[in-house]
Amino acid sequence: MPRGARRAASGGWRATGLPSRNRAGGRGRRSRVTRILVVEDDADIAQLVELYLGRAGFQVGVVANGSEAPGRIRRDRPDLIVLDLMLPGLDGLEICRTLRADATTAAIPIVMLTARAEEADRVAGLELGADDYVTKPFSPKELVARVKALLRRVQPRDARGPVLRHGALEVDLDRHVVTDAGREVRLTAKEFLLLQYLLEHRGRVLSRDLLLSDVWGYQYTGGTRTVDVHVRRLREKLPLLERVLVTVKQFGYRLLDPSDTPPEA
């Protein structure tokens, strides 16, 4: 981002273009509006993102300084964060690392907004726990679509869902809780969804393209390295997957059925 860009002003929650009732709440019924915090110091970009997200029915807050972001996030607990990579104070990578290390903010979905198009920079954000990223210059409509897709996948189910199991691993779909031999493991939104998809399709060889389409929910343009990064993080957090989630060379991954799982060394 150009350092000469105008700074965005930090402000409260706004619902730009939102009608008097929540669009998702139905006529005559009031319900909580989904809140999105935009951490961006370029005023023009922040206003553009705020405008389009507001028109889509979200309540939007803006923070312009990276040093202020963690405290604001812990206080207000937004439903999703749009996070610029290059910020005054703390940069986006450090903010992402801080949020993922804190149990109270670890599960908040993060869409990283970055002017850095190099794969290494994108992968760095994903490795620290970002769920998605958009590269500048970007289409505001595409950003809104990605935000909606991510929120659809992390919203709690109305009815209690099943508990998926694989050996000592348990995934409670209703509570979004993962346990390994009784130990709760914190996953990001995308890690949880990827694990759920693998468990629901165990035994099948899943291509990287299929995982991108079905887990990310749209035609992803960031390259299949995205899948590899998330798989590596799942293996690090859940040691069981080191044995049962196998790589199919130059294609994708397969989660072995329990009957096919090799004995523990």
Write out 170-231 in H/E/C secondary structure.
EEECCCCEEEECCEEECCCHHHHHHHHHHHHCCCCEEEHHHHHHHHHCCCCCCCCHHHHHHH
Let me know whether 149 and 169 are in one domain: no
Contact criterion met (CB below 8 Å) for 18 and 56:
no
In a domain? residue 135: yes
Return the CATH number at 59.
Answer: 3.40.50.2300
Is 244 contained in some domain?
Answer: yes
Answer yes or no: are the C-beta atoms of 251 and 197 closer than 8 Å. no
Whether residue 112 is found in the same domain as residue 175: no
Residue 128 sits in the same domain as residue 61: yes
In this prediction, residue 222 carries a pLDDT of 53
Nearest to 110 by CA among 199, 28, 38: 38
What is the domain-level CATH number for residue 247?
A: 1.10.10.10
Pick 101 or 69 by higher pLDDT: 69
Q: Are residues 194 and 149 in the same domain?
A: no
User: Is residue 131 in a domain?
Assistant: yes
Looking at the predicted structure, is the pLDDT value of residue 204 above 60? yes
Q: Give the pLDDT confidence of 105-126 residue by residue, as tens digits.
A: 888 999 998 876 666 767 777 7
Q: Which residues have C-beta within 8 Å of that of residue 79, sequence separation ≥ 6?
A: 34, 35, 36, 108, 109, 151
% of the chain beyond a pLDDT of 70: 80
* Last residue in a domain, options 120, 154, 188: 154
- 220-265 pLDDT tens trace: 555 668 889 999 999 999 999 999 999 998 889 999 976 555 555 3
Task: Tell me whether residue 202 is in a domain.
Answer: yes
Is there a single domain that holds both residue 229 and residue 139? no
Residue-range definition of the domain harbouring residue 147: 35-154
Residue 14 lies in a domain: no
Residues 45 and 67 in one domain: yes
- Are 107 and 142 found together in one domain? yes
44 & 150 share domain? yes
Q: What is the pLDDT of residues 77-98, one digit of tens each?
A: 999 999 999 999 999 999 999 9
Q: What is the DSSP string of the chain?
A: --TTSPBPPP---B-TT--SS-TTT-TT---PPPEEEEE--BHHHHHHHHHHHHHTT-EEEEE--GGGHHHHHHHH--SEEEEESS-SSS-HHHHHHHHHTSTTTTTS-EEEEES--SHHHHHHHHHTT-SEEEESS--HHHHHHHHHHHHHHHSPPSSPPPEEEETTEEEETTTTEEEETTEEE---HHHHHHHHHHHHTTTSEEEHHHHHHHHH-S---S-THHHHHHHHHHHHH-TTHHHHEEEETTTEEEEPPGGGPPPP-
Please check whether residues 98 and 200 belong to one and the same domain.
no
Q: Which of these, 56, 94, 91, lies nearest to 80 by C-alpha position?
A: 56
- Looking at the structure, do residues 176 and 150 belong to the same domain, yes or no? no
Determine how many CB atoms are found less than 10 A away from the CB of residue 55.
14
What confidence tens digit (pLDDT) does each residue in 166-190 have? 989 999 988 889 999 889 999 988 8
- For residue 75, name the pLDDT band (cuts at 50, 70, 90): very high
Q: Is the pTM of the predicted complex or chain greater than 0.85?
A: no
**Domain-embedded: residue 114:** yes
Please indicate, yes or no, whether residues 177 and 92 belong to a single structural domain of this protein: no
Domain count, the chain: 2
Does a structural domain hold residue 18?
A: no
240 within some domain:
yes
* Domain final position from 101, 128, 154: 154
Domain boundary among 127, 154, 181: 154
Are residues 134 and 182 located together in one domain of the fold? no
The number of CA neighbours under 13 Å toward the Cβ of 198 is 29
